[in-house]
Structure 1
Amino acid sequence: MSKLRVGVIGCGSIAQFRHLPEYAASQEVELVAVCDIVEDRVKEIANKYGAKAFTDYKELISSGEVDAVSVCTPNYLHAPISIEALNNGLHVLCEKPMATSQEEADAMIQAAQKNDKKLMIAHNQRFVRSHQLARQLIESGEIGKIYSFRTAFGHPGPEGWSVDGKDSWFFVKEKAYIGAMGDLGVHKTDLLRYLLGEEIVEVGAFIETTAKEFADVDDTAVCALKTESGIIGTLAASWSYTAKEDNSTIIYGEKAIIRLEDNPAYSLVVQYTNGETVNYELGKIQSNDEGGQQTTHVINHFVSAVVENKEPLITGEEGMKSLAVILAAIKSNETKTIAKVFE
């Protein structure tokens, strides 16, 4: 069988740490093209991976040389590039957040449907072993009725990770649209929807810039969320956790409390109401602290979905539902009211 020919559009940190090495490691993929507006950067990466270099994404998309692309650009370009690729008959793996508005997300989904191509959003939290096991425990009734939750995703900020440091697009409103909430918060809205098996319907949010005076986007957000069955909990997303990354989630249930990525030794801890505690050693969650070299399973899952012609776990529709919570949080913060998701 011929290999899947892949192009990567945008060669910043997420491409360099995740997409490029993981495609290169896949037996089913031929990494044939890379694109970036920074010519020196794209040439260097093209040489490294034996790929063809492009500085214009439209040229790569229309080249006829690729079957699928990863979109790893600043947020404001996710939708236009993805739509162009889908309309040219290419499968798309798009970084999160998938878009900067409901309208953009809808247009991406429609383009995928119209052209019968795969659109997957790169939410990696669903592939973390502890999260998958927690979902099974909740679904099986082991935890009983879910009462509440709290989740946090925070680290010192993209300047320590991005190829452009403090000059990164992450801090520029026109390019990023939203800061920590779009970068980290959207991962957690996706995770909560996955774990709880229901939609978030209302959001109350405070979104501020408290740590990064050079940024014109938010760096710290705290939200209260309510699900369709009435479970309430909190989500914090921040670039102001200056010493150590926090990527933890706690689910409070009738029969037990589940602690995810909250204990340094055990990625999943279940504390039962009868006093029993079960610790699971399941390997570390991938994090930026480690230099980000652990596999995320996102790339392999996308490749399998295309090669085997099956629906990816995080479709455009799923990405849109997770984005909608973030958009509602922005609205809540701006209007100082509780905002409904999908209004």
Structure 2
Amino acid sequence: MQNGAVQVGILGCGRIARTRHIPELVANPNARLAGFYNRTLAVAEALASGLGGRAYATPEELLADPFLDAVCVLTPNSSHAELAISALRAGKHVLCEKPMAVSPVECDRLAEAERASTNILMIAQNQRFHAAHVKARELIASGAIGRVLTIQAAFSHGGPAMDANSWFLSKSTGRLGVLGDLGVHKIDLIRFLTGQEIVAISAVVDTLDKKSKDGGRIELDDNAACLFRLNGGAIGTLTVSWTAYGKPDVSTRICGTLGTIELMRTFEEPLVLYRPGTEPEQITVESNTNSGVVDAFIGAIVSGAPSPVSAASVLPSMRALFTAYESGRTGGNMIRLD
């Protein structure tokens, strides 16, 4: 670190970098943006010119620079695991966007690289940091709604736009569709909220409407509906969509033997607790000013704390995700994860 600040390099300067990671790094007093790589070099050069640091022609050149302490892997999904592994082996702390990898084999390789490294690998599962989710987890753990019985979760919006520079809807670079994009967030959130694991899952996975640049349907899934069971006995549903045009849905509903929690039913009411015989209780939580991911990552590096979201902790979410895809390919049957 130079002058007490973590020197951070950006691998991939696309939308998620420009709208989330870079602004949050700029705002963090313990971080300094010091390097940029993008497949279009001019984009990296423009960011370096405006924000400081330098542009690199290749990921390998950036990773070889001993000045950099940490990197953010924000490239297309297909390269997440390989770049994160290379960065760990180069001695960098790593913040890797979700999904951590695009196959079970890649997930295991990344988790093994994490075990072999003394540096931090953090997966950007940002739902764990939302204030309403953190509070809901505390309420569930304290017994506020009793034993969890059912869960209904949704994550739906109009989907990414297909433009001239988009990799998101391409099978060669995105590799996973809406289930890998939005579903992995909710699968991980379900585990985070309940403290339980998904032990069985079934799914219908389809491409219903999303169009590519040539007007045909994309090669990746744009809708999925899942049924699942937790190891504590609860059952649940998960729906994700890139075709919820006009009105998004990011809600989660957890019903227990003593009450119900509703999350993100509206942005004005992020957490509501319902119990028999009482009025609904709107729980006050702090407004999130950012995703919380970058601050947690930089904070762990500075303090020497463990990874806030390790690859090992996300592996069960990824296993459930890949099992859902398997179910979708084989007729939608319920598949056990053990």
TM-score by length of 1: 0.93
How far apart, in 1, do the equivalents of 2:113 and 2:88 lie?
6
2:316 aligns with one of 316, 321, 324 = 321
Per the alignment, residue 13 of structure 2 pairs with 11
Name which of 216, 221, 227 aligns with 2:219.
216
Quote the Cα distance in structure 2 between the aligned partners of 1:2 and 1:183: 35
Counterpart of 1:114? 116
* 1:268 corresponds to: 271
Q: Which moved more, 1:190-199 or 1:109-118?
A: 109-118
1:117-196 to structure 2, matched below 5 A, reads 117-159=119-161, 165=163, 167-196=165-194
2:335 paired with 1:339: yes
Q: Is the 8 A contact 2:120 2:307 kept in 1?
A: yes
Q: Which residue of 1 aligns with 2:54?
A: 52
- Whether 1:205 aligns to 2:208 is no
Amino acid at match of 1:124: N
**Whole-angstrom distance in 2 between the partners of 1:21 and 1:264:** 22
**Does the CA-based 8 Å contact 1:33-1:52 persist in structure 2?**
yes
Displacement of 1:284 after TM fit? 5.6
The runs of 5 or more residues in structure 2 that have no matched partner are 213-217
Does the 8 Å contact 1:158/1:165 carry over to 2?
no
Residues in 2 aligned to 1:213 and 1:235: alpha-carbon distance in whole angstroms: 23
Which of 297, 309, 316 is the matching residue for 2:304? Answer: 309
For residue 288 of structure 1, what is the aligned residue in structure 2? none
Q: Is the 8 A contact 1:209 1:217 kept in 2?
A: yes
Instruction: State yes or no: 1:230 paired with 2:233.
Output: yes
Contact 2:135–2:285, Cα closer than 8 Å, also in 1: no
AA partner of residue 111 (structure 1):
A
Distance in 2 (CA, whole Å) between partners of 1:20 and 1:65 is 18
1:166-196 Cα distance to aligned partner (Å, 9 max, x none): 6511111121111111111100011000001
Letter in 2 for 1:256: G
Counterpart amino acid of residue 151 in structure 1: A
Between 1:114-123 and 1:166-175, the stretch displaced more is 166-175
Does 1:39 find its partner at 2:41? yes
Alpha-carbon shift at residue 150 of structure 1 (Å) = 0.6
| 2:158–2:243 CA contact under 8 A, matched in 1 | yes
SS of 1:178's equivalent?
Answer: coil
State the Cα distance separating 1:282 from its structure 2 match: 2.9
**Is the CA contact 1:265–1:281 (under 8 Å) kept in the aligned structure 2?**
no
- Separation in structure 1 between the aligned mates of residue 170 and residue 57 of structure 2, nearest angstrom: 21
Give the whole-Å Cα distance in 1 for the aligned partners of 2:317 and 2:109.
16
**Equivalent pair of 1:267/1:284 in contact (CA under 8 Å):** no
1:34 & 1:227 partners in 2: Cα distance? 42
Q: Percent identity?
A: 36
Once the two structures are TM-superposed, the CA of residue 318 in structure 1 deviates from its matched residue by: 1.5
Of residues 18, 28, 46, the one that matches 2:30 is 28
Give SS of 2:168's match: helix
Name the SS for the 1:147 alignment partner. Answer: strand
Matched residue type, 2:177: G
Asked if the contact 2:26–2:33 (Cα under 8 Å) also holds between the matched residues in 1, the reply is yes
Quote the Cα distance in structure 2 between the aligned partners of 1:109 and 1:52: 30
Supply the distance in 1 between the matched residues of 2:282 and 2:150 (Cα, whole angstroms).
21
Question: Which AA in structure 2 matches 1:273?
Answer: P
> 1:291 aligns to what?
none
Which aligned runs of 4 or more in structure 1 are off by greater than 2 angstroms? 164-167, 280-285
Structure 1 unaligned runs (5+)? Answer: 286-293
For residues 236-272 of structure 1, what are the alpha-carbon distances to aligned partners after superposition, in whole Å with 9 as ceiling and x for unaligned? 1111110022111000111111010003421111111
CA RMSD, aligned part only? 1.5
Letter of the 1:338 counterpart: M
Query: Which position in structure 2 is the counterpart of 1:244?
Result: 247
